[in-house]
Amino acid sequence: MLYLVGLGLSDETDITVKGLEIVKEASRVYLEAYTSILLVDQSVLESYYGRPIVVADREMVESNSDEILRDAQTEDVAFLVVGDPFGATTHTDLVLRARELSIPVRTVPNASILSGIGATGLQLYNFGQTVSMVFFLENWRPSSFYDRVKENRDVGLHTLLLLDIKVKEQSLENMARGRRVYEPPRYMTVGQCARQMLEVEEERGKGVYGPDSLAIGAARVGGKTEKFVAGTLKQLCDADDALGPPLHSLVLLGRRAHELERDYTREFALDKELWDRIWNSDYGKQ
């Protein structure tokens, strides 16, 4: 059996009781560690589970999945995923491959940022599609997120933006020379995301949002040090210190917001007066 086990959002105790039992019994335990991270190290997980863990990087999962699935027709293999197992496309691939090999699959769901973001006080019913924001490079500034955000904003819905993480990346030079030397991990911040959003609005110019649009920066959702900062996109460009360490996410508000959402989120506003003023003029419309 292949078990896809969600680990939740924060630390080693966010695994479910069911998930923990599976991890303790499995023949081999893999940890997918390139689409998201927990706020604790692998060693903490290993000592908590009492089991060694093989960290599965993107290359292993995408090109060498048969090693992960080896003998899973008769043995139990646990594949651990931060958040919920179906957050990333990659795992669909792994299940399809398991089906081809006649390996039964079970999923152990867990919290995902897609529902965890409800802790902002924004209603999950008022979110449109979720989008990803990647680190811009000098010659690569993909702006398809802008079209998706526009679709949400056009009908008044909130947008959750999931922010890029880079782990085990090689510099072009090291890649060219075949050196297995990796860059330090990088996690996009709310400030970086807000700046990229405003740059793209400037380029594309459709007025999907602007510096005064309301948004909420979220850090370490579901963890003990969870933190929310509400403000305009312009304010959020400089709110990284207030938010603290990764992981960050950003929600751009939609105008269809409900007054219960206003009452709840106001608590997080950097400048409550400004928040109220913009809210009252532009938000809460059906």
Among the listed residues 188, 187, 237, the one whose alpha carbon sits nearest the alpha carbon of residue 213: 237
**Considering the rule CB under 8 A, would residue 63 count as an interface residue with a copy of itself?**
no
**Considering the rule CB under 8 A, would residue 18 count as an interface residue with a copy of itself?**
yes
Distance of CA 102 to the CA centre of its chain: 31
**Considering the rule CB under 8 A, would residue 246 count as an interface residue with a copy of itself?**
no
Among the listed residues 96, 220, 23, the one whose alpha carbon sits nearest the alpha carbon of residue 31: 23
**Considering the rule CB under 8 A, would residue 130 count as an interface residue with a copy of itself?**
yes
**Considering the rule CB under 8 A, would residue 126 count as an interface residue with a copy of itself?**
yes
Sole binder of a copy of itself in the list 5, 6, 216, 231 (CB under 8 A): 6
Among the listed residues 250, 15, 281, 256, the one whose alpha carbon sits nearest the alpha carbon of residue 133: 250
Sole binder of a copy of itself in the list 40, 54, 55, 115 (CB under 8 A): 115
Among the listed residues 262, 204, 210, the one whose alpha carbon sits nearest the alpha carbon of residue 236: 210
**CA 286 to CA 164: how far, in whole Å?**
32
The residue assigned the tokens 């996009």 is: 188
The two three-digit tokens of residue 216, written as one number: 């909420």
Closest to a copy of itself by CB, 163 vs 237, is 163
The two three-digit tokens of residue 110, written as one number: 């867990």
The two three-digit tokens of residue 133, written as one number: 């924001």
**Considering the rule CB under 8 A, would residue 119 count as an interface residue with a copy of itself?**
yes
**Considering the rule CB under 8 A, would residue 248 count as an interface residue with a copy of itself?**
no
Non-local (6+) Cβ contacts of 247 within 8 A are 36, 37, 39, 163, 165, 187, 219, 220, 221
**Considering the rule CB under 8 A, would residue 78 count as an interface residue with a copy of itself?**
no
**Considering the rule CB under 8 A, would residue 151 count as an interface residue with a copy of itself?**
yes
* Per rule CB under 8 A, count of chain residues that contact a copy of itself: 57
**Considering the rule CB under 8 A, would residue 42 count as an interface residue with a copy of itself?**
no
The two three-digit tokens of residue 203, written as one number: 């380029």
Query: Of the listed pieces 33-41, 128-136, 202-210, 211-219, which binds a copy of itself according to CB under 8 A?
Result: 128-136
Closest to a copy of itself by CB, 16 vs 174, is 16
**Considering the rule CB under 8 A, would residue 112 count as an interface residue with a copy of itself?**
yes
Q: Which letter does DSSP use for residue 183 in this model?
A: P
**Considering the rule CB under 8 A, would residue 174 count as an interface residue with a copy of itself?**
no
Please, what is the Cα angle at 88 between 77 and 138, to 5 degrees?
130
Task: Give the type of residue at 10.
Answer: S
The least distance separating a copy of itself from the CB of residue 267, rounded to whole angstroms, comes to 7
**CA 90 to CA 242: how far, in whole Å?**
33
**CA 61 to CA 76: how far, in whole Å?**
17
Sole binder of a copy of itself in the list 8, 217, 231, 246 (CB under 8 A): 8
Residues placed in the known binding site for S-adenosyl-L-methionine: 9, 84, 87, 112-113, 163, 221, 248
Binding site for a copy of itself (CB under 8 A): 6, 8-9, 11-18, 20-21, 83-87, 89, 92-93, 95-96, 99, 106-112, 114-116, 118-119, 121, 123-132, 151, 155, 157, 221-222, 224, 260, 263-264, 267
